Chains A and B, each alone.
Chain A
Amino acid sequence: MDDRQIVELFFARSEEALRETDAKYGRLCFRIAQNILSRDADAEECVNDAYLCLWNAIPPQKPEDLAAYVSKIVRNVSLKRLRFNSAMKRNIQAEVSLSELESILPDSMAESEVDDRQLGKLISAFLWREPESSRNVFISKYFFFDSVREIAERYSYSESKVKSMLFHTRRRLQNYLLKEGYEL
């Protein structure tokens, strides 16, 4: 079933919409949640919570890209859970990814009043200028929180290459934000 039909099911308030979403994107959702959280049980709960959010959001929302839409919801729900969880349950890999992201943001921009949405637009603009390979490796790591090993296997790169690409992309993004930050 294509995404448009699934969205129509949501609008019809048919529970079939959730089954179809799960059949098509369940694995993707679980992967994102599992990458962020350390426990499978937490990941499953977050996926279910995300489906509930999806149910409540559509309608009135009518996403044009259901894959991206549901990915964002799962990511947000999982990050909220990660922040809520005790230190014992934290996922070191996700924490490292968060820490790497933290280091990108220039101080000048951190002190400005740019909000998440504006910053998201800047990051999008930057990523569109990046080579496709670097762009997708970056998104895999920092949006989907895939591990370096997973990214290397999926894209048939060496792990060293993935790390090097991430390093350089982070640095370019930082320079880009620094430049944009001064202009805000």
Chain B
Amino acid sequence: MNHTTMTDAVGMIDDRLISGAIIYQGSGKKPGKVKWGALAACLCLAVIGAVTIWGRGSQSVGCAAEPTNPAAVFQVSISKNDSVSDGQASTVIPLVSAMDGVCLTADGEMADGEISKAITVFVAPDDTQVHKDESMSREEAEALAYLDLDSAADEMKDRILEARRILIFSTSWVADGFSGSVQNVKTGEIIRTLPTFSELFPGWDIPVLPDTKDQITTDGLGADCVYGLSVKITLVNETNLIGVSQEPMNMFDTDREITIYLPEDTTAGDLGLKTGDTVFVSYYGSGCSLSESSIKAYEIEKTD
């Protein structure tokens, strides 16, 4: 028996099942599409080190000193669903620049003892802006990503994994064991509750980013991507923030300066950033994605 038999068998199901599906209207509510406004920014920035949630097998959850920025418009809140932490294990990432994406990671230990960066929460930018230059279209990725990896041929496995990577980094989610939401700080409105990784991607492996530390290498992924960039992050006071902004970024550049526009009176601490923090930049449109371009902030300035 082969797959055509299974297909033919589905063609022989009860007539009442078929006509039932024809008339079934569903009961779901129309999913809302969150538009993040004029988010021309192609920058997805994540603050590393603000939390230590998966720390070497311990239950400790850091982030007691959540950045609280009164000028923030949006924020991403996550908390660990853990009775031990009694609901106190949470952190807030202010989206002070109305950033359209956030990726938060925490240290974890891999089987070989290497320290990796396990992603705790990923808030995707507007889907329409993402993956224009990916190796496959979103439609194709959706078609391939849910195929059974175990039974796939080797060459197909690579394509399935690539499709999964594309979907994972174009969808908002929170790691299993956590709750997450995006909230409008001003109104208190929960804009969206983040689904858990396994809800969206059942059976898939949660992505783990390599710990790039201070590496600055041009490695793999064609000539367009670099693994690490040294950057000087400059915070500029702006009453009416627009978003994280930068000039078109040449991915060959090192010692790159990135300017982040923030509301007045914002400090670097409000972002949870300090010199030496690792920052992830995703520059959509260049073919680079989040896991492939991490940068080390070696200097943070605030200019008036």
Contact = CB atoms under 8 A, between A and B. Distances in A.
A92 interface: yes
B16 A65 contact: yes
B27 A102 contact: no
Contact of A100 (B12, B13, B22, B147): B147
Interface string B86-121: 000000000000000000000000000000000000
Contacts of B22: 28, 67-68, 71
A99 B4 CA distance: 9
Nearest to B14: A124
A158 B31 contact: yes
A96 B18 contact: no
Interface stretch (A7-15, A41-49, A52-60, A164-172): A164-172
Contacts of B221: none
Q: Among B4, B5, B10, B199, which residue has the most Cβ atoms of chain A within 10 A? A: B10
Interface string A140-172: 101110001000101111111101101110000
Interface in A62-92: 63-65, 67-69, 71-72, 75-76, 79, 83, 92
Interface in B135-152: 140, 142-144, 146-148, 151
Contact of A92 (B9, B15, B27, B140): B140
Interface in B165-202: 171, 195, 199-200, 202
Contact of B146 (A75, A79, A166): A166
A102 B28 CA distance: 29
Given A110-B1, A156-B29, A156-B31, A76 B11 contact: yes
B167 to A, nearest CB: 9
A141 to B, nearest CB: 10
A124 B17 contact: yes
Nearest to B156: A99
B26 interface: yes
Nearest to A132: B24
Contact of A127 (B17, B25, B26, B202): B17
A63 B144 CA distance: 38
Given A127-B17, A133-B27, A156-B30, A96 B147 contact: yes
B21 interface: yes
Contacts of B199: 160, 164
Given A104-B6, A160-B200, A68 B19 contact: yes
B11 A99 contact: no
Contacts of A160: 171, 195, 199-200
| Chain A: number of interface residues, binned into ranges | 35 or more
Contacts of B16: 65, 68
Contact of A120 (B3, B9, B19, B142): B9
A128 B28 contact: no
B18 A72 contact: yes
A119 interface: yes
Given A101-B6, A154-B26, 7 more contacts: A79-B8, A93-B143, A96-B144, A120-B9, A139-B17, A157-B31, A160-B171
Interface of B: 1-22, 24-31, 140, 142-144, 146-148, 151, 171, 195, 199-200, 202-203
Interface of A: 28, 63-65, 67-69, 71-72, 75-76, 79, 83, 92-93, 96, 98-105, 109-112, 114, 116-117, 119-124, 127-128, 132-133, 135-136, 139-140, 142-144, 148, 152, 154-161, 163-164, 166-168
28 contacts: A67-B19, A68-B15, A68-B19, A72-B11, A79-B4, A96-B147, A102-B7, A103-B151, A105-B6, A117-B12, A120-B11, A120-B12, A127-B17, A128-B14, A128-B17, A133-B26, A135-B21, A136-B21, A139-B20, A143-B18, A156-B26, A156-B30, A160-B171, A160-B195, A163-B200, A164-B200, A164-B202, A167-B146
